[in-house]
Amino acid sequence: MNSKAKRLATLVRELRGSQSQGQFAKKLGVSRSTVTLWESGLAWPEAENLQKLASSKGWNLEEIQTYLIKGELPEREPLEEILDRVRSLPSDALAQVAAVAVQTLAARTGSTV
């Protein structure tokens, strides 16, 4: 497996986390076998699926391509990284983040929620 395929395999496993390949595939709108092929380095995602992987990581298409081809991680401001991650969260997780943000802001300003 070449280094580009290894980086893709590692990235997909990282993004999948504790989800099964089937669960992750469903989230992306691809088949389980597609995820298996990506993780084994035997297939490369189409541009649309590469964009979905990038979004899952909080990256744009150019950033994921640069990482996969050159191995260079995007240089981002910490706040931008956080905002990108928040934008890619599922609705239930986003609601939790919003609730914590409101509570934190209220505590800092002495307001009540």
Tokens representing 87 are 């934008």
Delimit the domains of the chain by residue range: 3-70, 78-109
Give pLDDT, residue 66. Answer: 93
Q: Mind listing the pLDDT tens digit for each residue in 5-58?
A: 999 999 999 999 999 999 999 999 999 999 999 999 999 999 999 999 999 888
Using alpha carbons, list the distances in angstroms from residue 50 to 70, 79, 103.
16, 24, 36
Residue 4, pLDDT > 90, answer yes
Report yes or no: 50 and 64 within 8 Å, Cβ to Cβ.
Answer: yes
Q: Mind listing the pLDDT tens digit for each residue in 46-94?
A: 999 999 999 988 888 999 999 999 988 777 677 877 887 888 888 898 9
pTM recorded for the entire structure: 0.67
With b for 16 or more beta-carbon neighbours within 10 A and e for fewer, the 5-40 pattern comes to: bebbbebbeebbeeeebeebbeebebeeebbebbbe
Does domain 3-70 fall under CATH 1.10.260.40? My reply is yes
Give pLDDT, residue 113. Answer: 60
Give pLDDT, residue 58. Answer: 81
